[in-house]
Amino acid sequence: MNLPMVRFDAVRRTGAILVGAFLMTWPALYNRYPLLYPDSMSYMADGRLVARALFRHKFSADYGGRSFLYCLGILPFHWNVTPWPIVALNALLTAYVLWLLVRSLSPRQTVTRYLAILLPLSFFTGLGWFVSLIMPDILGPVLYLSIYLLVFARESLSWAERLTLILIAWWAVASHITHLILAGAFCVLLLALLVFRRSLRQWLGGIAEVAIIVLIAAAAHLALHAYLYGEPSLSGKRPPFLMARVIADGPGRSYLQQHCGERKLVICQYLHDLPNDANEFLWNLDGIWQSASPATQDRLRQEEAPFVLATLRAYPREELFVSAANFWHQLMSFGLGDYGPNRWVLQVFEEVLPGARAHYLETRQARETLPDDFSTSAQNWAVMTSLVLIGILLPFIWRRRSSRVLQLAAVIVFMVIANAFVTGVLSEVEDRYQSRVIWLLPLLAGVLVLEELDHRTRRDSKGESRLEESVSRNLPDA
C-alpha cells in the first residue's frame, strides 16, 4: 500500500473515532454541562488532598473513600476549574476501544460498521450518559472490552495499540474496586478453564497480561494507602458497605438482637435505630455512619469483617435467599433516573469548582428537565430487542463456530451477570450500577446482526460465483 493511501486510511480512522467520541457526549452537550453525581464532587475534591500529600508531603487525616488513583488521574483534566476535559477523556477512551473492537471483528468496512453500531448505542442506551458523567462508571465497560481484545483478539492489535490498551485497562482497573474484582474474577475463571481444556492455552499469554494488569493496579492501591495511612489497603477508609448490607437484609439485625448482650460491638449502641435501608445507614446526614465520630467510624470498619462473617455463620440460608433476591433485582434494574439535582452537590460546589455554581444552576440537570425518562424507556426497549436478537442469532453463529464473536459474547454475558452479583450482593441495589454495563448487550446484538449480514453476503457471493461458473461451462464454444 502506497504512502498516500496509508495516510488517507489513518485520517479516516482518526476522523471516525473523533466523530464517535463527539456523538457520545450528547447528554453533556444537551445539558450544557457535564452530568454530576454526589460522588463526582468527592472524586474531584479528593484529588487535591492526595496530590498535596504525594508531592508536597502535606498529609491529611482523611482523603475520602474513593479510588485515589482515579482522583489523581482526573486531577490534571479539571484542576478544580472545569470538568469538561474529563468528558472528553471518557469519550475518546470509549470511542477508541470500540473502534478496536469493531475492527477486530470486521477488518473491512470498519468505519461504516463502527458508526452503524455506535450511533444507536449513543442515542438509545446509557452509553452517552455515562460518558458525560463525571464518574469512573464508563471505565468498567471499557475495561471489559479491553480484556476481550487483549485475550481473544491480540493478533488484531499492533504493538502500539496493544501498549495503549494495556495502559487504558490498568487505568480502568485502578479506577474502582468493582472493576478490579470483576477483572480478577474473569482471570480466575479463564485459568480454571485452562486446567480442563488444553486447547484453550492459546489464550494463556493474554490472560497472564490481564492478570499482571490487575496485580499492578492492586499493588498501586496497597502502596498508595500505605503511604497515606501507614498501612496497606485496597480500599482505604471506605464506609462499611457489607455491614450496612447484612443489617438492611435482616440477618445482621437478627444477629445483633441475639448477641449484643454478650459481644461488645460498637454497632450495638445503635441497636434500636438500625435502618432497613443501606443508604440510610451510610449516607443520611443523621444516619449511623455520617453522624459517627472518626474514632467510632474506625471501630465500625474494624468490626465489619468479623460481624459479617459471624452473621453468615449464624444465618447462612437467610442471607443466601436475600442475596439471591438482591442479585436478581439488580440484574433487572438499569434505569437512567439518577440524574436529578442534589442538595449536597450544590453545597460543596464552590469548594470543588469555584465560580461554576451559577452556571450549573442553569443546566437542565439542575432544573430537572433532562430526558432521563425517555432515555430509560429507550434503553429498556433496546435491551429487550437485543435479547431477542441475541436469542435468535447466537445459535446460528454458534453452529458456524465464529470464534471471535462467541468470545465477545462470553465476555459480555459474564460481565453483565457478575456486575449485578457484585454490586447487588456486596453493596446495594441501584439502577446506576447495572445501567453502566447493560449497554453492552445492545452492542453484542449489533455485532451479531453485522456478523449475520456478512455471512449472508458471503453466501450469496459464492452462490453467484458458482452460477457463473456453471453457465460458462455449459456455453457452446464459439
Q: What is the DSSP string of 329-397?
A: HHHT-------S--HHHHHHHHHHSTT-HHHHHTSTTTTT---HHHHHHHHHHHHHHHHHHHHHHHHHH
Cell output for 230: 501507614
Cα Rg, the chain, nearest whole Å: 25
Exposed (0-12), middle (13-18) or buried (19+): which is 343, by Cβ within 10 Å?
A: exposed
DSSP conformational letter for 371: -
CA atoms within 13 A on the CB side of 476: 1
DSSP conformational letter for 270: G
At 78, phi and psi to the nearest 5? -130, -35
Place of cell 439542575: 366
C-alpha triplet 201, 202, 206: angle, nearest 5° = 100
Report the pLDDT value the prediction gives residue 200, as an integer from 0 to 100: 67
C-alpha triplet 157, 159, 164: angle, nearest 5° = 80
- Give the residue from 442, 431, 418 showing the smallest Cα distance to 180: 418
Residue type, 163: L
Report the pLDDT value the prediction gives residue 292, as an integer from 0 to 100: 85
- Hey, how many other C-beta atoms are within 10 angstroms of the C-beta on 444? 23
Q: 3-state DSSP call for residue 133? A: strand
Report the pLDDT value the prediction gives residue 186, as an integer from 0 to 100: 92
At 285, phi and psi to the nearest 5? -60, -30
Q: Which residues pair with 35 in a beta bridge?
A: 133
Residue 257 CB partners (closer than 8 Å, separation 6+): 271
* pTM (2 d.p.): 0.91
Q: 3-state DSSP call for residue 320? A: helix
Cα 132 to its chain centre, rounded Å, is 14
> CB–CB of 417/460 below 8 Å?
no
Q: 3-state DSSP call for residue 238? A: coil
- Give the residue from 29, 233, 263 showing the smallest Cα distance to 128: 29
> CB–CB of 360/349 below 8 Å?
yes
Place of cell 459481644: 263
Report the pLDDT value the prediction gives residue 464, as an integer from 0 to 100: 47
Place of cell 469512573: 136
434-448 tens-digit pLDDT: 999 999 999 999 999
Show the low-confidence residues of the chain (pLDDT under 50).
Answer: 1, 464, 467, 471, 478
Cα 224 to its chain centre, rounded Å, is 23
At 337, phi and psi to the nearest 5? -105, 20
Exposed (0-12), middle (13-18) or buried (19+): which is 13, by Cβ within 10 Å?
A: middle
Number of helices and strands in the chain (H, E): 23, 0
The Cα 305–Cα 312 span in angstroms is: 11
Angstrom distances, CA of residue 230 to CA of 54, 225, 271: 13, 7, 32
Place of cell 492526595: 50
Give the start-to-end residue ranges of the domains of the chain.
Answer: 16-238+315-474
The Cα 88–Cα 122 span in angstroms is: 15
